[in-house]
Amino acid sequence: MELILVNVIDGLVTGLLLFMLSAGLTLIFSMMGVLNFAHASFYMLGAYFAYQISLALGFWVGLLIAPLIVGVMGAGVERYGLRRVHQYGHVPELIFTFGLALLIEELVQFVWGKNQMPYDIPEILNFTAFSIAGNSIPAYKIFMIFISVGIFMGLLYVLTKTRVGMIIQAALSYPRTVEALGHNVPLIFMGVFGVGTALAGVAGVIAGPVLGTFPGMAFVLGSIVFVTIVIGGLGSLWGALVASLLIGWITTFAKSYNIAMSDILNGIGIATPENLSDNMFRDLWTVTSPQIADILPYILMVLILIFRPAGLFGKRES
């Protein structure tokens, strides 16, 4: 029972982190029809910038400033890069963000090298908050949960209760109309892109110490974020939340409970073959849930795309 609680917390942390990334991405997609392949790269930049700043000014200053820098960079990318490519169509846009992701990874290696950076949890949070059945829950994880939830609430408030939020929501579906009403839609686009990437940056800042700050971090998380928004439904913020939590919990539970495929197959009545090492299907028999934990999201995505192409909460068919 206690193990379940530990996994719930762990899954929550992962899920909320994923949500910070997917929220920005799905907003950007909803508004501009662009799937930003470089989104996870901004996540990585957030971590690296925060690390660099923390060397001189401490973790908390890094938490504050790094996302801002990332957001500004994101806005710049939209203004000078994406806007230019937009005229050529959707496919070149996708290819552009893809190329950008490649370039950012190379640039990070150029500046900081290929090794993992010693970006650590701040001393003040480096203790065990409490233990459940012998598993200690670090205070930092609780901190991560609070920050993520706080940001989500803030986002929800801005989008639903403020005037700017209303305009953004309108521009999400009908940019031309909003423009005709006199609002500066290109500025809104730039702003949404900037905020979206800043969110990714925040995720990087707080995840860096825990998941590691290294050049491959964008790649590791990148495709999962896409899977998340596809499962949740492209353009839907609630979908992103539900899908993120779902994936967070599924992968955490799969990793922690070592369920072997052989047990399942035996359970439904198929006996284990005699000479397993020579059997063609030996891998299927020996696979355990931790091994496939990381690919479960992909399987889920493919299933959703077949049976419910718009995603769980999807509305906009691009």
Binding positions for another protein, rule: CB under 8 A: 35, 81, 84-85, 88, 90-92, 94-96, 98-100, 102-103, 106-107, 110-111, 113, 219, 223, 226-227, 230, 234, 280-284, 287, 291-292, 294-295, 298-299, 301-302, 305-306, 309, 318
The answer to whether the beta carbons of residues 237 and 28 sit under 8 Å apart is no
Name the residue nearer to another protein (CB basis): 282 or 315: 282
Q: How far apart are CA 312 and CA 233, in angstroms?
A: 6
Name the residue nearer to another protein (CB basis): 81 or 212: 81
Scan for tokens 């000078």, then name that residue. Answer: 80
Secondary structure letter of residue 136 according to DSSP: E
234 three-class SS = coil
To another protein, the closest distance from the beta carbon of 281 in angstroms equals 7
130 three-class SS = strand
Following DSSP, what letter does each residue of 258-279 receive, concatenated?
Answer: --BHHHHHHHTTPPPPSSGGG-
To another protein, the closest distance from the beta carbon of 305 in angstroms equals 5
Name the residue nearer to another protein (CB basis): 2 or 294: 294
Q: Which two tokens stand for residue 21?
A: 């990334």
Cα 141 to the chain's mean position, in Å? 17
Q: How far apart are CA 195 and CA 174, in angstroms?
A: 20
Contacts with 262 (C-beta within 8 Å, 6 or more apart), sequence order: 272, 285, 286
To another protein, the closest distance from the beta carbon of 227 in angstroms equals 6
Q: Which two tokens stand for residue 132?
A: 């459940």
Name the residue nearer to another protein (CB basis): 95 or 125: 95
To another protein, the closest distance from the beta carbon of 57 in angstroms equals 21
Secondary structure letter of residue 252 according to DSSP: H
Measured in degrees and rounded to the nearest 5, phi and psi for residue 257 equal: -95, 115
Name the residue nearer to another protein (CB basis): 5 or 302: 302
Name the residue nearer to another protein (CB basis): 135 or 291: 291
